Structure 1
Amino acid sequence: MPSWNEQANSIFLAAVDLPRDAWAEFLDHNCESTELRAHVEGLLEAHLRAQIALPTIPPEPNRRLGKTELKRTTDFSGRDSKPSEPHAHPIRASGDFSESEEPEVVGEYRLISLLGEGGMGAVYLAQTDLPVKRTVALKVIRPGFPSSDVIARFESERRALALMDHPGIARVLDAGETRQGLPYFVMELVNGLPLTDYCDQHKLTLHDRLVLFRDVCQAVQHAHQKGILHRDLKPSNILVASYDDRPVVKVIDFGLAKALETSELENPGLTLAGGIMGTPQYMSPEQADTHSRDIDTRTDIYSLGVILYELLTGTTPLAINKSSLLELLRRLREEDPLPPSSRLAQSRETVNDVSERRQLTPNRLIKTVRGELDWIVLKATDKDRERRYE
């Protein structure tokens, strides 16, 4: 049985991806006590204050972020590794740094502002002058969250990124570790939007959405060839940036990655609270099985199928706002979703908006999706992974 804190974190991670107006009903179904509900509501409030899309797990109550001494452990840029000077300033939990304040320093990097806080740490906009001046994203596990499991997941993320070299995957540039054993790593900064947000804001045609989806698949295939699973593929982990006036996808956050070969990464099989790994709307049936540890590349294929479903219909196969977490996991394992074209035909109240964003009439959208696109999605999201793409 998961602990009280693990249960709270699991409920929070499931709720945070729901519309805000669905939180209350979701907590009604999942929180067994007023104390548990109050704790989850506190996590959600912290998430809102940070104004980010990723789930937030704040530091332990009444603990401040103290001084953190950094040492260099791994350098992927080719420079000689050397210890950095102890940094004399605490890492901030939120907010920007004003011009009158001395910037925070982590190793060779000056922290400019907080970009977001996720389940494993905080991500900062940072700058360095060595070997050349550049702006990067720096991720560090915040002091005050002394979880060996979280640290292990973070280490897995850092090393997984170092194995991969693909234009569709955010590159790792550097990495280090605090003297207290808290890892950090430096990644290329991606100034982009989540995949579905980008597509909708730019009203991309169905063809253009499929082109971006193909690029995502190629990036994930590269990771799979390196023996790396993502395990949490979803639109917020697939950013689209503009380079030379064309959209380019970048897959980010391999913090839930698992090595297919233990010789590549140690400690395979790391999971979130209660043995559940992933985001409920996008996780595979085998991920929803708390008794299973048998995860392979077809888990990512399933998540890609859900993302394609959303690109076509504007929604994920299973609605979760009225389901408890346990009920949702059961449905993921047992219920077959409607084909995308059937979902569009059934949702006459929303199909007008969905089709307009894809520059098609409702009837034309349904007709285009029906057939091959339906078949591709259903094959990718088959409950029996033996029948999915490999």
Structure 2
Amino acid sequence: MQDKTSELLSAKAIFLKAMELADESQRQQWLQEQCGGNSELLCKVEALLAAAGGKSAASPLDAVANAMGVEETVLTADLEPSPDATTKPLPHRLERQQIGPYKLLEQIGQGGFGTVYMAEQTSPVKRKVALKVLKPGMDSNEVIARFEAERQALAMMDHPNIARVLDGGTTEQGRPYFVMELVRGVPVTDYCDEVRATTEERLALFVDICRAVQHAHQKGIIHRDLKPSNVLVTMHDDKPVPKVIDFGIAKALSQQLTDRTLFTGYQQMLGTPAYMSPEQAQMSGIDIDTRSDVYSLGV
């Protein structure tokens, strides 16, 4: 655990220094010197820089504020929709890339360990799906275990208000991936504000969300990161339907989600501070049960 903590601190320190370097060539040279051959550390720092927009900080205090804002995304594998997801094309080197029967179309979200793409399934049927794949270099046993746990948690769900998992596998490079129902939606709070939803309409959406979370709890799964950006509202037959997404840090109450060792260290924060329960914020991993999700629903 000490090695893991030290590496996270190193990533943050390198990130803060890199934010002060406005020249891109100097920044890249700094990253290579500090990370050396540690590809996992380099990926973490680059993810922090990407989440911060690659902008230099106006002051050390601004740099710290930027780090606090993005560190949660990178170090807890929290998956957030990309702000420009609908217009962000794939990098040239990924154009027309195929993963199994899935053709990658565009990136629609990313977290610390995984990237989500809109993809087109080419066989045996044609349809648009969401494909989440582990980032290159993020192949430690702990990261792979958490990725597999998310895939299995989703596979256990069968509820209209939870994004369904459709398929899974491993790329030719050995990176695990899984395929989900493509949810074309916006965060629940944004939707309610945009349509000026009445109190009754908001409560109707909230009831559906509660039923989805109850279904997960009945399957023995705690989400642990319920927040507006992880509840997307999509339209079906002109009716708003909320979908709970991102079980990336979900916890199983009774069964094992993966054959690999899944370890959450003491004092390791998982989740979003603004929405987590007091016991989850203590970072001890003790006494986390369904009540933590209920608390987050009420925030």
- Structure 2 unmatched ranges of 5 or more: 21-44, 55-68, 76-86
**For residue 241 of structure 1, what is the aligned residue in structure 2?**
234
Answer with 125-134 or 283-292: which moved more.
283-292
How far is 1:263 from its partner? 4.5
CA distance in 1, matches of 2:114, 2:241: 26
CA distance in 2, matches of 1:108, 1:273: 41
How far is 1:147 from its partner? 2.8
Answer with 174-183 or 39-48: which moved more.
39-48
Counterpart residue type for residue 135 of structure 2:
R
How far is 1:122 from its partner? 0.4
**For residue 38 of structure 1, what is the aligned residue in structure 2?**
17
Matches within 5 A, 1:116-195: 116-178=109-171, 180-195=173-188
Kindly report the root-mean-square deviation, in angstroms, between the aligned alpha carbons of the 2 structures. Answer: 3.1
Compared CA separation, residues 196 and 266, structure 1 to 2 (3 A): farther
Identity among equivalent pairs (%):
53
Compared CA separation, residues 137 and 238, structure 1 to 2 (3 A): same
CA distance in 2, matches of 1:127, 1:237: 23
TM-score (norm 1): 0.57
Higher Rg: 1
How far is 1:141 from its partner? 0.5
Structure 2 residue matching 1:256: 3-state secondary structure: coil
CA distance in 1, matches of 2:261, 2:298: 24
Asked if structure 1 preserves the Cα contact closer than 8 Å seen for 2:103 and 2:122, the reply is no
- Structure 1 unmatched ranges of 5 or more: 12-32, 59-93, 307-390
Asked if structure 2 preserves the Cα contact closer than 8 Å seen for 1:6 and 1:273, the reply is no
Structure 2 residue matching 1:287: 3-state secondary structure: helix
Counterpart residue type for residue 137 of structure 1:
A
How far is 1:269 from its partner? 6.2
Counterpart residue type for residue 167 of structure 1:
P
Compared CA separation, residues 272 and 232, structure 1 to 2 (3 A): farther
TM-score (norm 2): 0.73
Counterpart residue type for residue 139 of structure 1:
K
CA distance in 1, matches of 2:74, 2:257: 29
**For residue 254 of structure 2, what is the aligned residue in structure 1?**
261
Structure 2 residue matching 1:275: 3-state secondary structure: coil
**For residue 276 of structure 2, what is the aligned residue in structure 1?**
283
Matches within 5 A, 1:221-240: 221-240=214-233
CA distance in 1, matches of 2:95, 2:249: 34
- Deviations along 1:165-221, one digit per CA (max 9) or x if unpaired, are 000000000000235542100000000001111111111111111111111000000
- Deviations along 1:51-90, one digit per CA (max 9) or x if unpaired, are xx996549xxxxxxxxxxxxxxxxxxxxxxxxxxxxxxxx
Structure 2 residue matching 1:200: 3-state secondary structure: helix
